[in-house]
Structure 1
Amino acid sequence: MGIELAWLHGVYVLFVLGIILMMVLRRDTSLISIVGIAILGFTATGSVIASVGGIFGSFIYAITELLPTILVICIIVAMSHVLTDTGVNETMIRPMTHLVRNATLAYWVIGIVMMIISWFFWPSPAVALVGAVMLPVAIRAGLPAIGVAVAMNLFGHGIALSGDFVIQGAPSLTAKAAGIPVSDVLHASIPLVIVMGLVTTITAFWYLRKDMKMGLVAPASEHIFSADSSVKAPLRPGVRKTLAFLVPLLFLLDVIAMFAFDLLGGEATALVGGTALLILIVSTMLAHKEKGLEQVTTHLIQGFQFGFKVFGPVIPIAAFFYMGDSGFISVFGEVLPAGSQGIVNDLGVALAHTIPVNKEVAALTLTSVGVITGLDGSGFSGITLAGSIAQLFATALGNGIATLTALGQIAAIWVGGGTLVPWALIPAAAICGVDPFELARRNLYPVVIGLLVTTIFAMFLL
């Protein structure tokens, strides 16, 4: 069935603005997201039945997309409960407390470690690895849980993923769309990634320190993984020390295996989740012996309860934004007009074609296109569009295609890859036990400031 494209895109933009407004006002966005899905469906199909059924279908699509992340977070949380209850957590982190002595050091050490691991294995498995080992250390050093989440998020899903210098998945996509070699995008992105990373992480740290001094962040003692938790199922000292040695060793072996066997993305995340599950089982059986069978199930239930409690409010808003890309066709079928590249990408193309061309406007447009296409929470779905639009502007300008391509890539991934869109930054939020919407709000000013500075910097490179 044909539809009026402008109406559909207008409805989508209207509800995006409404969701952003609700976030700014610190109000829940679930209701407006659900209404948005229904109205999008009705606008596209003209059928009340299809639009109502589309709400449920969009939830199924969102849960399917998020399920691997949900599952690994649940298992990591369950494992962390076991390690805390048995005292292994305390024994494991004690040596590290001598290296991370204060909140400032904790923020930068965790961030740099996260960035390095993310370069090789991407941020999702890196979050699980870094969070499981370093989170309790940071809390003991005085860095609040939200600070740990910010550090892992900005350095991993921001700096590491936007440059993607090792795996080169992002620059390969943008370079292909722009019709230039991958090496050109990599070289052009280096100064932009450095500027964006420095401005964003320093600004975020300044805001965090200011709020810590004013008492506006939750104290570490309220955290689910607090190192001060009492030991409920003590182990013999020798067994506890052995497990405290084996846990980080097993995760280190995961890192080596990822590198040796070229495990990326979902495969790497699965390896981390499986390792955490084995640690959970062995630790529980050693601590509870004959009651271990029941306790394994108990800890898994605790992990799943925590995971779905965190993800519950996120699924409706994720379902809405997935409608801006491939999720729309999956839920409502082939109802978009011929030539449409998806709602979000159509908006990006329209923006590029309605703006006059000079280097300042070109840089601002590529950043805007990156931000808009990043709103679907993927980060990667819109970077090919950024490459194509960079090619259009560079042709008109006569130069700067690599810089414009890199700028669009950075904007799309910083927004959609996991620093501003709440459902995309869930891994870091869930591992740290903080509200993903609060993490998104805390990242907002640093990332916006970083994008503005990076865009202005890019203008001088064109």
Structure 2
Amino acid sequence: MGIELTITHWIYLIFIGFIIGFMVFRKDTTLICMIGIFLISILTTKSLDASISSIFNGFIYAITELLSTILIISIIVAMSNILIATGINDIMIAPFTKLIRTPVLAYWVIGITMMIISLFFWPSPAVALMGAVLLPVALKVGLPAIGVAMAMNLFGHGIALSGDFIIQAAPKLTADAAGLPVNEVMAASVPLIVVMGLVTTVTAFLLLKKEMRKGYFPNITKKHFHYSSTGKKANLLTLPQKRFFALLIPLLFGMNVAAMFILKLQGSDATALIGGTSILIIVTISLISYKNKGLEKITNYFITGFQFGFKVFGPVIPIAAFFYLGGDGFSTIIGDFLPESSNGIVNDLSYSLAGSVPLNKGISMITVAISGIITGLDGSGFSGLSLIGSISGLFGAALNTSAATLTALGQVATIWVGGGTLIPWALIPAAAICNVDPFELARRNLVPVATGLIVTTIVALFLA
């Protein structure tokens, strides 16, 4: 099962350690990521000019991969800005304030709603739908923005995506690679996802509540709303107009949800539908609110949104470029310099780990979980699932134990890390909508997710 690792693999692994260390100590990782790309490139290409170019190529690749996310975040922020400036937002959130009256309710209501929507349409579209409406409500009742981001992220990119019970893309990938029926892997994943979800979300909530009691979070300021006023609310729209749009906008997004369900739109298709609807809302409200200045205001709101989007993603692009080297991005950024037998750096590392451990049930469980974590480091969450399924199937056959439980554990670990709740650019949608630092969100998720993975691995050991 083992695979021969090259100096490229080891350098990549060393730089992962450096990057994690820098993030833990709250140091900027941009320079270390660029050095890592350059060093790996010069070791493989033996060309100085190609290695210098690889840094720029890495940035281009990362931006290309992240562009759809940058766009939807920018557009949602632009829409939020105009809703706040016109006063429509105040009327829209009024009904929710009756349901969400405390920070505790805000955390759990937002999280559970996010999980339900994400099961049908995946988390990124769900974040866009949830953030614009429920973030202001949560802030008003005292839940800090980082708490909103944690709830959306852990319940959406964690629980919902790792189970993927409706769309079933994740369990199909792992089940096919393990040679198992999809329903068998899904059944085995249910107790693990329940344990992982409960441990992680409860731990995160208790830690957040402890910090709130100590007064670690400042009072809510306008910066959390991404907006600087472009006019007096009272002068832009009449009260009947505000009420009309406050009803129309949720109706439009409700129609979006219905269209996603009927037309079976998921992922990028669902995100595009929400983005297009948001653009129409911005255009319509701008023309009605600003009259003859509406055309200029449309552009201004888009500019503000894009400025915010690229400002948030700016620190993430270098680190994303480095981690994309570990997956499919290597050939685009540097070239075809890996061995022909290579499945990508992170997959090679996971496969090598699986091939070098003694075969017993306990070690195999730990190995599958660690392999899932490693393959998740590329920030995809899905790219390593086939490898995890293959390893789990082999371990299950060799040990005469439950391959389905092993496969489900690997799927949970891979998606929770890479899909994701710990990789900064994977959790950027939630961080950006809530206007919090994605690296700070990743740091706050670390203890709950690590605790959840440890407990879930122990439970899997007893279930296998």
- The Cα of 1:249 is off from its aligned counterpart by 1.0
Q: Corresponding residue for 2:213?
A: 213
Q: CA deviation at 1:137?
A: 1.1
TM-score normalised by L of structure 2: 0.97
Structure 1 residue 138: deviation in Å? 1.0
The match for 1:421 is 423
Matched, 1:430 2:462: no
1:344 is displaced (CA, Å) by 0.4
Quote the offset at 1:42 in angstroms: 0.8
Q: 1:370-385 to 2 correspondence within 5 Å?
A: 370-385=372-387
Q: Deviations over 1:198-231 (max 9, x none)?
A: 0000000001101111122243235432899873
User: 2:361 touches 2:401 (CA, 8 Å); kept in 1?
Assistant: no
Aligned residue for 1:284? Answer: 286
Partners of 1:400 and 1:313 lie apart in 2 by 42
1:366 corresponding residue in structure 2? 368
Q: CA deviation at 1:6?
A: 2.0
Q: Is contact 2:106–2:143 with CA below 8 Å preserved after alignment?
A: yes
Aligned residue for 2:159? 159
Whether the 8 Å CA contact 1:221–1:228 is kept in 2: the answer is: no
Look up the equivalent residue of 2:371 and give its one-letter code. V
Q: Deviations over 1:43-98 (max 9, x none)?
A: 11111111110111111100000000000000000000000000000011111101
- How far the C-alpha of 1:140 sits from its partner, in A, is 1.2
1:323, CA displacement in angstroms?
0.2
Which of residues 301, 304, 310 is equivalent to 2:303?
A: 301
Q: In 2 relative to 1, CA 269–175 (structure 1 residues): closer, same or farther, beyond 3 Å?
A: same
- Distance between the aligned counterparts of 1:120 and 1:135, measured in 2? 21
Match of 1:451 in 2: 453
In the TM superposition, what is the alpha-carbon distance from 1:391 to its structure 2 partner? 1.0
Partner in structure 2 of residue 173 of structure 1: 173
Secondary structure of the residue that 1:375 maps to in structure 2? helix
Query: Partner of 1:45 in structure 2?
Result: 45
Q: Per-residue deviation at 1:271?
A: 0.4
Aligned-residue offset at 1:5 = 4.3
Letter of the 1:44 partner, please give it: T
Q: Which residue does the alignment assign to 1:396?
A: 398
**Following the alignment from structure 1 to structure 2, what is the Cα–Cα distance between the partners of residues 105 and 340?**
48
Distance 2:63 2:428 in 1: 13
CA–CA distance in structure 2, aligned partners of residues 461 and 5 of structure 1:
33
Contact 2:252 2:277 (8 Å CA) reproduced: yes
> Per-residue deviation at 1:99?
0.6
CA–CA distance in 1 between the matches of 2:353 and 2:293? 62
Q: CA 1:226–1:345 in 2, change beyond 3 Å: closer, same or farther? A: closer
Gaps of 5+ in 2: none
- Aligned equivalent of 1:202: 202
Partner of 1:346: 348
Identity of aligned residues (%): 60
Residues 221-300 of structure 1: matches in 2 within 5 Å? 221-225=221-225, 231=233, 234-300=236-302
Task: Give distance in 2, aligned partners of 1:5 and 1:317.
Answer: 23
| Structure 2 Cα separation of the partners of residues 429 and 392 of structure 1 | 38
1:82 aligns with 2:82: yes
State whether residues 81 and 226 of structure 2, in contact with CA within 8 Å, keep that contact through their aligned partners in structure 1: no
Q: Distance in 1 between matches of 2:387 and 2:64?
A: 25
Residues 218 and 274 of structure 1, relative CA distance in 2, 3 Å threshold:
farther
**Letter of the 2:76 counterpart:** I
3-state SS in 2 of match to 1:356: coil
CA distance 1:441–1:222, change in 2 (3 Å): farther
**AA partner of residue 149 (structure 2):** A
Which whole-Å deviations, capped at 9, do the CAs of 1:263-289 have from their partners, x for residues lacking one?
Answer: 111110000111111111111111111
Partner of 1:100: 100
Q: Which residue of 2 aligns with 1:193?
A: 193
Q: Cα offset for 1:417?
A: 0.3
Gaps of 5+ in 1: none
Q: Is the contact made by 1:149 and 1:429 (CA closer than 8 Å) also made in structure 2?
A: yes
**1:113-171, Cα deviation, whole Å (9 max, x unpaired):** 00000000000101001111111111111111111000000000000000000000000
- After superposition, the Cα gap between the structure-2 partners of 1:404 and 1:442, relative to the gap in structure 1 and judged at 3 Å, is same
Equivalent-residue separation in structure 2 for 1:175 and 1:273 (angstroms): 33
In 2, the alpha carbon distance for the partners of 1:233 and 1:449 equals 52
Q: How many residues align?
A: 459
Give yes or no for contact 1:145–1:223 (8 Å, CA) kept in 2.
Answer: no
**In the TM superposition, what is the alpha-carbon distance from 1:234 to its structure 2 partner?**
3.1
Deviation by residue 1:325-371 (Cα, 9 ceiling, x = unmatched): 11001122211112111100000000001110111111100110000
Cα distance in 1 between the residues matched to 2:463 and 2:5: 37
Map of 2:59 onto structure 1: 59
Query: Residue 19 of structure 1 aligns to which amino acid in structure 2?
Result: I
**Which aligned segments of 4 or more residues in structure 1 are displaced greater than 2 angstroms?**
217-224, 226-234
- Show the counterpart of 1:137: 137
Secondary structure in structure 2 of the residue aligned to 1:309:
helix
Alignment of 1:318-337 (within 5 A): 318-337=320-339
The alignment's C-alpha RMSD in Å is 1.4
Q: Return the letter of the residue paired with 1:176.
A: D
DSSP 3-state at the match of 2:6: helix
SS at match of 1:224: helix
Cα gap change, 1:226 to 1:421, in 2 (>3 Å): closer
